[in-house]
Amino acid sequence: MNIDLARTFLEIVETGNFNRAAERLDVTQSTVSMRIKALEDELGRPLFVRSKAGTELTAAGMQFRRYATTLVRVWEQARQEIALPPGFRTVLTVGGQFSLWDRLLVQWIPWMRTALPDVALRAEIGGSDGLMRQLAEGIIDIGVMYSPQSRPGLHIEKLLEERLIMVSTKRRSVDEWDDDYVFVDWGPEFRQSHSQAFPDLKTTAVSVGLGALGLQHILAHGGTGYFPMRVVRPALAAGRLTAVEGAPEFRRPAWLVYAHDEGRADWFPTALEGLRHVASLESED
């Protein structure tokens, strides 16, 4: 079977729509339709029921779903292991969100090189949605992210909990609002908690979706914003930033996600334990 057929099937299952699946796969909608037609011809059963409301799996589609996931995962594992560099027994692919690579995953890589020197590492960066999709397809083995989605066959556990604190380039209290406040969007949970804590706060002049960009702006031009303690700790120690007196703190958990697989090699639990160990060293309590 052409592995693209299985990937296309899984993309439609996730998006619930042929058009959105085509956008994610960067192909035309007609290509997606032709792939599903070819897949249904091979299996001899319809896999989807299409309507104005969207796309739903047939009974056969529900049965094929877990096989498609396994097919894609096995293919990716085979492709990676066949391309192994000399002297390595396997390759481990880890994906993480950008701000989690800073310190946490960057510290884990040298730990792995010491603990498992014959395991090659491949690192990926992405958002929670993309990382979950790659985990389901077997493209990555481990994901570290802020907003995982529960999916069959994937294990999710809390890895650490970040403290988001308000810091400023000048000494001030939480009641002293001015135009230099930079709103950093740390996700839907943060937005909701922030709105409840500051219901009268007007729309800020500067709003960013990437914490590193917000921190760089504040350090260069002055200002105030919320950032993880582990990120701003060096700047606090150096006196470049100060914690805002009386400001509430927010919590943001980061999660470890990987596939349930009893056939995993004995080195895989060691890799997971390494992530837990490095996360414990980054504890902010």
What per-residue string of b and e applies to 137-153 under the rule 16 or more CB within 10 Å gives b?
Answer: bbbbbbbbbbbbeeeee
In a domain, 223, yes or no: no
Domains contained in the chain, number: 1
Element (H, E) at 94: strand 90-96
In a domain, 204, yes or no: no
Mean pLDDT per segment of 10 residues, for the chain of length 285 residues?
Answer: 86 89 89 93 92 86 88 78 78 88 86 94 87 85 91 90 94 82 90 91 86 92 93 94 94 91 79 94 67
For the chain, how many helices (H) and strands (E)?
11, 11
In a domain, 52, yes or no: yes
In a domain, 97, yes or no: no
Residue 55: give the domain boundaries: 3-76
In a domain, 141, yes or no: no
In a domain, 169, yes or no: no
In a domain, 60, yes or no: yes
Q: What is the pLDDT of residues 78-123, one digit of tens each?
A: 776 677 777 888 889 999 988 788 778 889 999 999 999 999 998 9
In a domain, 48, yes or no: yes
CATH number at residue 12: 1.10.10.10
What amino acid is encoded at 59 in this protein? Answer: A
Taking the whole predicted model, whether its pTM rises above 0.75 is answered as: no
